[in-house]
Amino acid sequence: MAESYTIEEIRRDFLFVRTDIEQLEHTLVCIFKALARVLEQRRREDSSPLMGRELNELEKQGRQFLARLASIEARLTRPSRRRQAAAGTAAKAS
């Protein structure tokens, strides 16, 4: 798919995802902080560690999800090897 795009087009068309990923990360941090506050209050009442472990697991999965999204975004905005080789060949011919 990316082979038909110029580097500028890829950056323009796909780099916008970076902002969305950063917003998602911020939103997840806010959600997990709010949940942790409520969980701490509930622990004082019934001292059940199960939800704490579940919340920790969800935070870990959230970080992994964000890392995978960032990895995909990075690969989409990276010039393909063919384009790099073509640019190198064009530069040598000049």
**Amino acid sitting at position 29:** V
- Look up the pTM and report it: 0.67
Query: Residue 35 corresponds to which tokens in the numbers above?
Result: 């949940």
**pLDDT for residue 90 is more than 60:** no
Confidence of residue 1 (pLDDT cuts 50, 70, 90): very low
| Distance in angstroms (rounded) separating the CA atoms of residues 71 and 91 | 29
pLDDT, position 2? 47
Q: What is the pLDDT of residues 8-20, one digit of tens each?
A: 776 676 667 888 9
| Distance in angstroms (rounded) separating the CA atoms of residues 20 and 56 | 23
Mean per-residue pLDDT over the chain, rounded: 81
Q: What is the pLDDT of residues 39-68, one digit of tens each?
A: 888 887 776 678 889 999 999 999 999 999
Yes or no: say if 3 and 85 are a contact pair by the CB < 8 Å rule.
no
77 vs 57, residue with greater confidence: 57
Yes or no: say if 55 and 36 are a contact pair by the CB < 8 Å rule.
yes
% residues pLDDT > 70 (the chain): 72
Nearest to 4 by CA among 71, 92, 94, 82: 82
Helical residues (DSSP H) of 1-94, grouped into ranges: 7-14, 16-46, 50-77, 81-93
